[in-house]
Structure 1
Amino acid sequence: MRFVAMKLHTRDQAKEGEKPVTEPEEKPVAKWEPTVDGYLKFLVDSKLVYDTLEKIIDEAPYPSYAEFRNTGLERSASLAKDLEWFKEQGYTIPEPSSPGRTYSEYLIELSQQDPQAFICHFYNIYFAHSAGGRMIGRKVAEILLNKKELEFYKWDGDLSQLLQNVRDKLNKVAEEWTREEKNHCLEETEKSFKFSGEILRLILS
Structure 2
Amino acid sequence: MVTRNVVVSFTTAEKHRKRYPGEAKGFVEEMRIVAMNCILETKQRRREGRKQPEERTVKVWEPTVDGYLKTWLIAVVYDTLEGIIDKAVFPSYAEFRSTGLERSEKLAIDLQWFKEQGYAIPEPTSPGVTYAEYLKELSEKDPQAFICHFYNIYFAHSAGGRMIGKKVAEKILDNKELEFYIWDGDLSQLLQNVRDKLNKVAESCTREEKNHCLEETEKSFKYSGDILRLILS
1:20 maps to which residue? 45
Counterpart Cα distance in 2 of 1:36 and 1:180: 44
1:183 aligns with 2:211: yes
CA offset digits 1:89-142 (Å, max 9, x no partner): 011111012100000000000000000000000000000000000000100111
- C-alpha distance in 2 between matches for 1:92 and 1:7: 38
Q: Deviations over 1:129-176 (max 9, x none)?
A: 000000001001111101111000000010000000000000000000
Q: Which structure 2 segments of 5+ residues have no match?
A: 1-30
Please tell me whether residue 130 in structure 1 is matched to residue 155 in structure 2: no
Contact 1:72 1:156 in 2 (8 A): yes
Question: Where does residue 66 of structure 2 map in the other structure?
Answer: 37
The corresponding residue for 2:101 is 73
Q: Which residue of 2 aligns with 1:14?
A: none
- 1:19-168 to structure 2, matched below 5 A, reads 19-21=44-46, 22=51, 23-24=55-56, 31-43=60-72, 45-168=73-196
Percent same amino acid at aligned positions?
Answer: 75
Across the aligned residues of Structure 1 and Structure 2, the Cα RMSD in angstroms comes to 1.6
CA distance in 1, matches of 2:56, 2:109: 29
Query: Partners in 2 of 1:189 and 1:19 — Cα distance?
Result: 17
Residue 9 of structure 1: CA displacement?
A: 1.3
Q: Specify every segment of 5 or more residues in structure 1 that has no aligned partner in the other structure, as ranges.
A: 12-16
| Pair 129,62 (structure 1): closer, same or farther in 2 beyond 3 Å | same
Q: Of residues 32, 36, 60 in structure 2, which corresponds to 1:2?
A: 32
* Alpha-carbon distance in structure 2 between the residues aligned to 1:18 and 1:79: 29
Go from structure 1 to structure 2 and tell me whether the alpha carbon gap of 1:62 and 1:19 turns closer, same or farther (over 3 Å shift).
farther
Q: For residue 8 of structure 1, report the CA deviation from its aligned partner.
A: 1.3
3-state SS of paired residue (2:176): coil
CA contact (8 A) 1:8 1:19 kept: no
Higher Rg of the two aligned structures = 2
TM-superposition CA deviations, 1:23-80 (whole Å, max 9, x none): 349x69xx3121111111101x111000000000000010000000000000000000
If the length of structure 1 is used for normalisation, what is the TM-score? 0.92
The whole-number CA distance in structure 2 between the counterparts of 1:177 and 1:38 is 41
With the length of structure 2 as denominator, give the TM-score of the two structures.
0.81
Q: Supply the distance in 2 between the matched residues of 1:203 and 1:70 (Cα, whole angstroms).
A: 29
Q: Distance in 2 between matches of 1:24 and 1:126?
A: 25
In 1, Cα distance between equivalents of 2:117 and 2:171:
17
